[in-house]
Amino acid sequence: MAENPRAFVCGHPIAHSLSPEIHGYWLRQHGLAGTYEAVDVTPENFTSFLRGFHESGLSGGNITIPHKVMAFLTCDELDTAARQIGAVNTVWFENGKLLGSNTDAYGFLAHLGEQVPDWKSSAPAIVLGAGGAARAIVFALKQLGVPKIHIVNRTGSRAIDLAAEFGEPAEGHGWAEIQELFENCGLLVNTTSLGMKGQPPLDVPVGRLPKDAVVYDIVYMPLETKLLEASSDHGLRTVDGLGMLLHQAVPGFQKWFGKRPEVDDDIRDHVLGILKGRS
């Protein structure tokens, strides 16, 4: 490891990324030498940035919108998560090779296990949405051995294609099937953009979910979405998206700076304060 490791997050645009705040907080908390910087790279320049960041003294970094799929296509080697999700969010060089990982599924499961360790993983799970975020969640739930993963999407054909790609136990559905599927569900996960600041709320019949179901919204801006609010009103347990964002940062931090950080109330409060300032 370099004496003063320099890590980065690369995206376009990048100004609103919370990663520099998260990694910066942990660097200060542990009194570690090192930096974590935001790098704005356009799609035209991304491949050469990725191939060359090591030469400019950077140890590794996170990749965010819109570069995650290009990073997947460019890396020399990928871990299983990145390969199956089809996107890379963490990169580093090892023996001259560019390696790529995807820590979103890890972040999702770490937060779920921490918040609701007794959630019913023996019941079917429902994933709303069939985009890039859904891929990480379906991968995570499949790894865990959840017996049925219903992918439900406005454009039903996208859900069916995604389910076919992942194979058993994933199954694709159109939105019209929600009512029926909700009656037998241990975990509902929103991966659509609905509920995010500036988007309409996600309005689904959470009252039809079993009383012991858990509702997880990966949206963190706002932290308490209308979906989570309605679910709490029905007495359901809820999980917000901030923990996933924090946990997905852990493996990269450990790799670049040599210390495994804790996702505790301090870092959560720090990031919440920043989110509040922005809303």
Residues involved in catalysis:
68
Closer residue to ligand ATR in complex, CB, 24/132: 132
Cα–Cα distance for residue pair 19/23, rounded to 1 Å = 6
Judged by CB under 6 A, the residue of 59, 90, 103, 191 near ligand ATR is 191
Secondary structure of residue 118 in the 3-state scheme? coil
Cβ burial, residue 223 (10 Å; 0-12/13-18/19+) = middle
Tell me the closest approach of the beta carbon of residue 93 to ligand ATR, in angstroms.
Answer: 27
278 lies in the site for ligand ATR, by CB under 6 A: no
**Residue 133, interface with ligand ATR (CB under 6 A)?**
yes
Using the contact rule CB under 6 A, the part of the chain among 41-49, 107-115, 191-199, 224-232 near ligand ATR is 191-199
Residues 148-167 that bind ligand ATR (CB under 6 A): 153-155, 158
Rounded Cα gap, residues 4 and 252, in angstroms: 15
Is 85 among the residues that bind ligand ATR (CB under 6 A)?
no
Q: Which of 7, 125, 130, 244 binds ligand ATR (CB under 6 A)?
A: 130
CA distances from 202 to 2, 56, 119, 244, 250 (A): 46, 44, 22, 19, 29
230 contacts 206 by C-beta, under 8 angstroms = yes
Cis check: omega of the bond before 66, within 30 degrees of 0: yes
Asked whether position 194 contacts ligand ATR by CB under 6 A, the answer is yes
Which residues bind to ligand ATR, rule: CB under 6 A? Answer: 129-134, 153-155, 158, 191-194
